[in-house]
Structure 1
Amino acid sequence: MSRLGTTRAVALVGLTGHVVEVQAHLAASVPGFTLVGLPDAALSESRDRVRAAVTSSGLDWPNKKITVNLSPASLPKTGSGFDLAIAVAMLAGARLIDHVRPQHVVHLGELGLDGRVHRVRGVLPAVAAAVAAGYRRVVVPAQDADEARLVPGADVLGVRHLAELAAHYGAELDELPEPPNDGPTAQRPRGPSAGDLADVLGQTEARAALEVAAAGGHHLLMVGPPGAGKTMLASRLPGILPDLDEAAAVEVTAIHSVAGTFDAADGLLRRPPFEDPHHTATPASVVGGGSGLPRPGAASRAHRGVLFLDEVPHFGSRVLETLRQPLEHGEIVIHRAAGTARYPARFQLVLAANPCPCGKAVGKGLDCTCTPIERRRYLARLSGPLLDRVDVQVELPRVSAVDRDERGEPSAAVAARVAAARAASADRLRGTPWTLNGDVPGSWLRERLGADRGLLVDVDRALERGSISLRGADRVLRLAWTLADLAGRDAPGRTDVGRALALRTRGHRG
């Protein structure tokens, strides 16, 4: 006589969760264990993990032909997070536990050979998908319970051992194993403190450019000699950005949950993230990748925050060119044989570069040892199409002895002006798909300028000279509106347009 046990799990494709029905069929035939439903290699190995975990929990392994199906069978399944659901479905089919109660419960977790339930990635988006599909009751590893409870409406049970869950479902056990001693929870390394803008000496123009970039959500390029403060300025950009709203916080937290960089002890990620990959990073590490279905890279982890590329000419051309898609569309689409994953990637790109390979071509550049060809080749590594998407481009001078006594405003004061400017742009853009000037198309902005074409005289001249492209002209308009928002004006004037053009062309307007 054959028996069937069922429960639920969740398969993640990118950030999208799909509820999977886990069916275990036990038949009186030659003993064996077969897993079907497009499992990957890690999931196929669950047969051995589940068998060892069940016997280690004091439960009898059924001497039956066991077939486990993951439905829908056409959806690729990856990872070890299905272990717990497979074990529960098998135990329900063998009638070692109540076979009715687990049917509408979602189970997430990896099993150790000793029966312990280990944490898995992507608990937050998986639980959110389960609740959205009508499955409020979820069982997760105890270490992931705090993260699962961040999802409104979820009824979460955290378990440390398979025997603990089996007893919850009515299994008859002589004794429960001692609670496992997992030791102290490993703390994920935290990034460096954002610091304060008051720490940056001098660089008045660069600080102003940073404020404009923050207020409008514009991308930024800084060119200057070593020690001018490019890295300090970039690392302080998140400190002047406003907190994430509820929807953005959930989205950002879900990305970091899938990436395995989220610590639920601090709750949802409310501050804009900051990612600064090294120039030796591969395209997969920046935009996402990996075997099977790809994982999010630095660009997705920087969603709603800052992606900083220091010494950007040293990055590979493939890495830089792959950023053009998220800069235009705000998401990354990665195609693999196992499927297609989409990750949001709406970040502020900050680039930093020396003026030449030796970094001394500042002012008259008398100390520079680079040849003209070397200088051209160095900055030519930044393609025109990529730079054309960077709104603010500023040159930093060398810091002098006089600058050591010149301390600027603290981050709190700048952040207040940035928040006010963003509120003004959000109010103007209410009812549109955009909230920041950096996202608005130029055609919409031109309509708001009215009939006075005199505002765009400088922009038209720059277009005729070839100093900027049509895309660049639109981005000058975006900057002009941001400058007007910072100044509290309802619309930009010719002075705002002229300053925006200078910011766009690194101050070279002639």
Structure 2
Amino acid sequence: MLTKVFGSAVFGIEATTITVEVNIDKGIGYHLVGLPDNAVRESSYRISAALNNIGYKLPGKKITINMAPADLRKEGSAYDLTLAVGILAASNQIKPELTKEYIIMGELSLDGSLQTLKGALPIAIQAKKEGFKGIILPKQNAKEAAIVEGLIVYGIENITELISFFDGKTKLSPMTINIEEEFNKTIDNTEFDFSDVKGQESIKRCLEIAAAGGHNVILIGPPGSGKTMLAKRLPSILPPMTIQEALETTKIHSVVGKVKDNFGLMNKRPFRSPHHTISDVALVGGGQYPQPGEISMSHNGVLFLDELPEFKRSVLEVMRQPLEDREVTISRAKFTVTYPSSFMLVASMNPSPSGFFNNPDSPMSSSPHEMQRYLGKISGPLLDRIDIHVEVTPVPFNKLSEERTGESSKTIRLRVIAARKTQTDRFIDTDYTHYNAQMTVKQIRSYCALDSNSKEMLKSAMERLNLSARAYDRILKVSRTIADLDNQPNILPQHISEAIQYRSLDREGWLN
């Protein structure tokens, strides 16, 4: 008897429906075709043991299984449940009528229970697109898949529940969630808050500007000055994610199995902080079977690179194209996948190998030559993509010992949200520009027009401080953001003046 059941394969962050055709005929043997990998081939052992342990059996006949399309590689153990249901239906051990209405996925344990799978959200989205009635998958993934409206989602703990359901003996309870309630439940709960930070008012102002315009930022200062502490608090002042951004982010984390079991929709902006020993493949994504890297896991959030010069140069250089295009394309001989990677880069670094400025009072000061060589580990093209460079100095004792708390993240975030709304209205007619950091040269000329006083100030500053030509557009972008925070339609001289302060590494002789 021939029967068909349906599973799904995930490539990139999109899913493709897989048709599993099971034919049982006279003879003996188990033949699995359709370009399965080793994990799929091994499924026969798991299926046989699981069925025996729940009172069913693998038919002692010739079983031929085709996973179509046959030229698409099938990976992972999540097809166990799909194949098991197909075998049971083809051998008349369960009624086959309902099996065609659902996408069925899950890895089987030897006792018939189900293990969690990766990519539940993309699979559910594709099932809805193709008109399936519902999706059946492990209970741990049910909440994640239930984000998709108009699709029945059944979460089961073991294959016995599914067999009883298809035979009409029991009913399964569909998983339902209120997306809006889920999205808003913990949106304002932040682990870190700017009110905890003593002093560093100028750096907090700098990070507020970075958050408001989506600008990349690098913090330069000695150990203990608060660079990491400040960076960890940046997500708390970023605007809340929209539903669309939350879905995009959840899809990426779903593909790598990083969505928590008790939480379907990610509503907080991700903050990723990889160690400096990371490889270039782990950072941008890839591998034999491509997976998203850290920059895609940071999509719609923050990627924090602590001790930037300690990263391998090859690792840093592969970020240049994703920073510009805000997506990563990974090509292989037979397929190409694209992962979104629109993130804010926040980097921190010491100004020298010893960690201290060129200060004769410091017991570990470095020479200007050592400092220059250390800073030289970061290429000019990468620095060119970082809008804001700011020096972080240690906090004095009188600031550390103050009792009063600083301005809260919630208060700062309100100003950031207002500035982002101004930018949303400004770029409403463009598809690829949403905030100031994404402006093209043409948009800079259009939205960053300067009056004569501002032009003269910028010209004077560039000549006096020996600022490089590449700093020009960055200063205009940052000054546009500062004007938005001040609710000013035009860039004023004070906005230009403040923006110039945030180009430390462009100053010739900065180390002298």
Name the TM-score, length of structure 1 as normaliser: 0.90
Q: What is the CA deviation profile of residues 389-445 of structure 1, one whole-angstrom value per residue up to 9, with x for unaligned ones?
A: 000110112222232256531211111111111111111111212221111113112
Cα displacement (A) at 1:368: 3.8
- Amino acid of the residue matched to residue 467 of structure 2? S
Q: What residue number does 2:19 align with?
A: 21
User: Counterparts of 1:418 and 1:172 in 2: how far apart (Å)?
Assistant: 56
Q: Partner of 1:265: helix, strand, or coil?
A: coil
Q: What residue number does 2:434 align with?
A: 435
Cα displacement (A) at 1:509: 9.0
Q: What residue number does 2:234 align with?
A: 237
Q: What residue number does 1:202 align with?
A: 199
Unaligned runs of 5+ residues in structure 1 are 174-191
Q: Partner of 1:50: helix, strand, or coil?
A: helix
One of 8, 11, 23 as aligned partner of 1:10: 8
Q: Which shows bigger deviation, 93-102 or 411-420?
A: 93-102
- Amino acid of the residue matched to residue 306 of structure 2? D
Cα displacement (A) at 1:262: 1.1
Q: What residue number does 2:418 align with?
A: 420
Does 1:351 find its partner at 2:347? yes
Q: Partner of 1:102: helix, strand, or coil?
A: helix
Cα displacement (A) at 1:375: 1.6
Alignment of 1:214-363 (within 5 A): 214-290=211-287, 292-336=288-332, 339-361=335-357
Does 1:374 find its partner at 2:407? no
Q: Partner of 2:5: helix, strand, or coil?
A: strand
Q: Which shows bigger deviation, 459-468 or 95-104?
A: 459-468
Q: Partner of 1:261: helix, strand, or coil?
A: coil
- Amino acid of the residue matched to residue 132 of structure 1? K
Q: Which shows bigger deviation, 257-266 or 322-331?
A: 257-266
Cα displacement (A) at 1:148: 1.5
Cα displacement (A) at 1:19: 0.9
| CA RMSD of superposed structures (Å) | 2.4
Q: Give yes or no for contact 1:202–1:403 (8 Å, CA) kept in 2.
A: yes
User: Counterparts of 1:254 and 1:327 in 2: how far apart (Å)?
Assistant: 20
One of 151, 154, 159 as aligned partner of 1:154: 151
Q: What residue number does 2:485 align with?
A: 486
Cα distance change of structure 1 residues 392 and 265 upon mapping to structure 2, 3 Å threshold: same
User: Counterparts of 1:507 and 1:417 in 2: how far apart (Å)?
Assistant: 29
Q: Give yes or no for contact 1:22–1:86 (8 Å, CA) kept in 2.
A: yes
- Amino acid of the residue matched to residue 154 of structure 1? L
Q: Which shows bigger deviation, 54-63 or 19-28?
A: 54-63
Report sequence identity in percent.
38
Alignment of 1:34-49 (within 5 A): 34-49=31-46
Q: What is the CA deviation profile of residues 441-478 of structure 1, one whole-angstrom value per residue up to 9, with x for unaligned ones?
A: 131121234584654445556777873344x3222221
Q: How many pairs does the alignment contain?
A: 487
Q: What is the CA deviation profile of residues 123-182 of structure 1, one whole-angstrom value per residue up to 9, with x for unaligned ones?
A: 111111111221231101122112211211110112222222122212999xxxxxxxxx
Q: What residue number does 1:211 align with?
A: 208
Name the TM-score, length of structure 2 as normaliser: 0.89
Q: What residue number does 2:123 align with?
A: 126
Q: Partner of 2:446: helix, strand, or coil?
A: helix
Q: Which shows bigger deviation, 192-201 or 268-277?
A: 192-201
Q: What is the CA deviation profile of residues 36-83 of structure 1, one whole-angstrom value per residue up to 9, with x for unaligned ones?
A: 112222222112222222222211321221111111112222111111
User: Counterparts of 1:451 and 1:211 in 2: how far apart (Å)?
Assistant: 23
User: Counterparts of 1:506 and 1:370 in 2: how far apart (Å)?
Assistant: 18
- Amino acid of the residue matched to residue 157 of structure 2? R
Q: What is the CA deviation profile of residues 366-388 of structure 1, one whole-angstrom value per residue up to 9, with x for unaligned ones?
A: 54443433222211111111111
One of 103, 110, 114 as aligned partner of 2:111: 114
User: Counterparts of 2:365 and 2:105 in 1: how far apart (Å)?
Assistant: 60
